Amino acid sequence: MIGMTVVPQDQKAHLNDLLSKLVMMLHSRLQSLGRRRTLVFAVLSVLAIVSFLAVSKLVKRYSEQERALARHMYAQGQADQQTGRPDLALEDYRAALLYDRDNSQYQLSLARALRDSGRTEEAETYLLKLWEANPQDGAVNLALGRLYARRGSIENALHYYHNAIYGTWPGNADKVRNDAEFELVEFLLKANAAPQAQAELISFAAARPADTAIQLRIANLFMQAQDYEHALVRFREVLSQDPRNALAAAGAGEAAFALGRYRHAESYLRIAAILNPQDEQIRELLQTTGMMLESDPFMRGISDAERTRRIRAAYTQAGSRLDSCAKQQGIDLQQASASPAPASDLVSLHNRWIDIKPKMKNPAVAAVEEENGNSVISLVGSIEQETATLCGPPTGMDKVLLLISQEPASSDTGADK
């Protein structure tokens, strides 16, 4: 046709062959390029993984080094605190926290050091944060209890000590709880909170096992709280388990003596003296107890004649103590008694003593009864108290008379009350 070029058949075949080869070449190149990209991606992925592992290892090693430094500084802080260098301990604990910020043990130790250094407000801030994170933590509650005890806040101290006693502890919980209870009671006694201390001890004694060492310690604390009745019960409990416990026997004797149960006191003190013959205090109290039993005119079960004899003996002894003290003070009682205005209480007491002397010298029991034994012993007590103030603590029979005058109705007949 006009205007069209006709391509020969052989040239057309040749052209198709060239195009096919070109397509195949391009396809081959594209496949090669794809494989190369896959290889590159794979290599990069491997390198990334290796780099990540290397960085992770470096980070882990760095973190381990930081924790190692923290442990070292913490150990140094503990050493400084134990050797009485609280300021250095504070710096050590702060440094430890720089390397291990979230370590609650380091935070607790820092708070304790702050508290013991008198920086109670800073300590309180740390401790309350720790408490908010774990209100049942026994160690944190104990630290707060000690903090408020240091401040003299009885209510707050009771709250956190109780939390510590009933809180969670990692190990050996019974011993830690017992120690916390004893610590609380001792704090209350020092704070002159005897009723709270007694309540704690009653609850504590009921909850603890019948361990003689614990019961003995509880009994001694009852004595300090002047709860002699409960103290005697605890001492007896120990003796029921260990009859040869000298400390329990002595404690029972002291408690019975304080309760005016002198026959029982004498019995326990005799046992204690046999078990511990070197204890001078036991022997002295045993001697005093014996003198109380022999001299107390208010002892139930004695005859009227014996009561009168004891009153006369007390009267005579008080007169001797009065004369001795007056001489020590440079006072002539005979001359001073003639003065219309006594210049000393000793003189006034001497005048009262002289006034009832005729009845005390009268051999008849009725004469003493007419004077009234209570009033005589009251005068004897006044003499012993005044001479103790002016001339020093009484000893021997004078000590006994002072005790009798203070609690004349406390003596027993030996019946256990």
Please calculate the CA angle 214-217-223 and round it to the nearest 5 degrees: 145
pLDDT of residue 97: 72
Q: How many domains does the chain have?
A: 2
Q: Is residue 23 part of a domain?
A: no
pLDDT of residue 415: 44
**Mean pLDDT taken over the chain:** 82
pLDDT of residue 109: 82
CA distance 107 to 144: 13
List b or e across 161-200, with b for residues whose CB sees 16 or more CB atoms inside 10 angstroms: bbbbbebebeeeeeebbbebbbbbbebbbeeebeebbbbb
Of the residues 81, 116, 133, the one at which a domain ends = 133
CA distance 201 to 175: 16
- For residue 315, count CB atoms less than 10 angstroms from its CB and return exposed for 0-12, middle for 13-18, buried for 19 or more: buried
**264-312 residue pLDDT tens:** 999 999 999 999 999 999 999 999 999 999 999 888 888 888 988 999 9
Written as six digits, the tokens of 356 are: 């009832």
pLDDT of residue 5: 44
Query: Greatest CA span in the chain, whole angstroms?
Result: 182
Please calculate the CA angle 146-147-150 and round it to the nearest 5 degrees: 85
List b or e across 278-288, with b for residues whose CB sees 16 or more CB atoms inside 10 angstroms: ebeebeebbeb
pLDDT of residue 369: 65
Q: Is residue 222 part of a domain?
A: no
Report the candidate in 115, 120, 121, 70 with the shortest Cα–Cα distance to residue 93: 70
Written as six digits, the tokens of 332 are: 């002539």
Report the candidate in 249, 237, 239 with the shortest Cα–Cα distance to residue 276: 249
Q: Which domain holds residue 112?
A: 60-133
Written as six digits, the tokens of 362 are: 């009268």
Q: Is residue 314 part of a domain?
A: yes
- 258, 268 in Cβ contact below 8 A? no
pLDDT of residue 223: 97
Q: Is residue 388 part of a domain?
A: yes
Low-confidence ranges of the chain (pLDDT < 70): 1-66, 209, 336-343, 365-371, 408-417
What CATH number did the domain enclosing 66 receive?
A: 1.25.40.10
pLDDT of residue 87: 76
Q: Is residue 362 part of a domain?
A: yes
Q: Is residue 339 part of a domain?
A: yes
CA 26 to chain centre: 92
Written as six digits, the tokens of 410 are: 């406390």
Q: Is residue 292 part of a domain?
A: no
Q: What HEC string does the chain produce?
A: CCCCCCCCHHHHHHHHHHHHHHHHHHHHHHHHHHHHHHHHHHHHHHHHHHHHHHHHHHHHHHHHHHHHHHHHHHHHHHHHHHCCCHHHHHHHHHHHHHHCCCCHHHHHHHHHHHHHCCCHHHHHHHHHHHHHHCCCEHHHHHHHHHHHHHHCCHHHHHHHHHHHHCCECCCCHHHHHHHHHHHHHHHHHHCCCHHHHHHHHHHHHHHCCCCHHHHHHHHHHHHHCCCHHHHHHHHHHHHHHCCCCHHHHHHHHHHHHHCCCHHHHHHHHHHHHHHCCCCHHHHHHHHHHHHHHHHCCCCCCCCHHHHHHHHHHHHHHHHHHHHHHHHHCCCCHHHHHCCCCCCCHHHHHHHHHHHCHHHHHCCCHHHHHHHCHHHHHHHHHHHHHHHHHHHCCCCHHHHHHHHHHHCCCCCCCCCCC
Please calculate the CA angle 291-294-298 and round it to the nearest 5 degrees: 110
Residue found under tokens 């381990």: 64
Report the candidate in 328, 361, 360, 359 with the shortest Cα–Cα distance to residue 346: 328
Of the residues 77, 101, 133, the one at which a domain ends = 133
- 370, 359 in Cβ contact below 8 A? yes
pLDDT of residue 103: 79
- 391, 365 in Cβ contact below 8 A? no
Of the residues 133, 150, 171, the one at which a domain ends = 133
Between the alpha carbon of residue 146 and those of residues 113, 301, 373, the distances in Å are: 12, 52, 53
CA distance 394 to 384: 7
Q: What is the pTM of this model?
A: 0.73
Q: Is residue 200 part of a domain?
A: no
